[in-house]
Chains A and B, each alone.
Chain A
Amino acid sequence: MNKKQKVTIFSGAGIIIITFVVWSLQGFHLFTHDKIEIQLPQSDVDKLLGQPPRYGWVNHFTLGLEYTLAFTAIIIAVGIVLFFIFKNKRKVF
């Protein structure tokens, strides 16, 4: 294994680890969300009427496991290709 191949493997592994860290920090979601649910402020009249807090949606990208795995697969595929490209070529003469 030459230097370029080692750089390829370590870079790929690093990117994959970072992807999984981001996924875990965003809450281990199975599927990627483009919006998150937030609790809206409640008026006094709504409280008197026995209404529970309402929920609204705001745009917020949350990485899911399916995108994480797909991205990981792409990184592995690119890594394998680069690994073979960077392979030392035997000199015929």
Chain B
Amino acid sequence: MRTAIKIFFLSLLFFITAFPQGFNVKASGVQKFSFKDDKGRNQATFTSITELDEVDGTSNDISGTLSFDVKNVANTLKGEISISTASITTGIAKRDKDLREPKWLDAYQFPTISFTIKKVTGVTKLADNKLQVNVIGTFFLHGVKQDIPVTATLTYLDESSVTESREPGDLLGVNAKFQIMLSKFGIQNMILGSRVADKIDIGVNIVGTNKF
């Protein structure tokens, strides 16, 4: 019985290491993608829903890099994505100004909100050029760091005449959705829970290039 268990785990280890999850594309080796887009096409969205109000916000001032070995994303994925705190827009100028104040996001003291990948907990191949990755990373907001799980879809496009219409180089599309609790990031406010939800849904939809 023990031998059977050993063989099972050794086989499992063999398959995990022999067939690392990665993209099946023309590119190979370690590729690094930058998500700085001067045209502001990359976007992060924020949604707060309470019984009183729904607040939708966006930011198009996104930067950061992701790098990985194309054939072995699971073991090599690393990087950081950040947005400018002051760039968040919600459709009400006064509310945007309030958001930058110390009692909310404190854009003056903490000009960026970031997410840094710590480890990959799972990779699922959806297509030759598309992976779903589960990662745990450090979310930095309002001067507080918290580890949170994030599920993201990565789509890889080799450079072609089609991709050139957006920007040169291979392109990587990233879609991620996750939630954070504002109270865990030191944001305590009497409006929290009534006009603004403690739980914020965040979406990140960005495209990066390896020619930057």
Whether B207 contacts A46 by the Cβ 8 Å rule is yes
Whether A51 contacts B207 by the Cβ 8 Å rule is yes
Indicate with 1 or 0, residue by residue over B147-171, a CB within 8 angstroms of chain A CB atoms. 0000001010100001101100001
Indicate with 1 or 0, residue by residue over B96-109, a CB within 8 angstroms of chain A CB atoms. 00000000000000
Secondary structure at chain A's binding surface: helix, strand, loop or mixed?
Answer: mixed
Whether A50 contacts B92 by the Cβ 8 Å rule is no
Contact A31/B53 with A44-B162, A57-B58 known, Cβ cut-off 8 Å: yes
Of chain A, the residue at the smallest CB distance from B57 is A37
Q: How far is the CB of B36 from chain A (nearest CB, A)?
A: 16
Say if the beta carbon of B130 comes within 8 Å of chain A.
yes
Secondary structure at chain B's binding surface: helix, strand, loop or mixed?
Answer: strand
Q: Number of B residues contacting the other chain (C-beta, 8 Å)? A: 27
Residues of B within 8 A of A54 (CB): 41, 43, 205
Whether A46 contacts B91 by the Cβ 8 Å rule is no
Kindly list 4 other residue pairs between chains A and B, CB separation below 8 angstroms, not including A50-B173, A50-B175: A31-B53, A34-B93, A36-B91, A50-B153
Chain B positions within 8 Å of A, measured between CB atoms, are: 41, 43, 45, 52-53, 56, 58, 89, 91-93, 95, 130, 153, 155, 157, 162-163, 165-166, 171-173, 175, 203, 205, 207
Minimum-distance CB pairs A-B, first 5? A49-B173, A45-B166, A35-B91, A50-B155, A33-B91
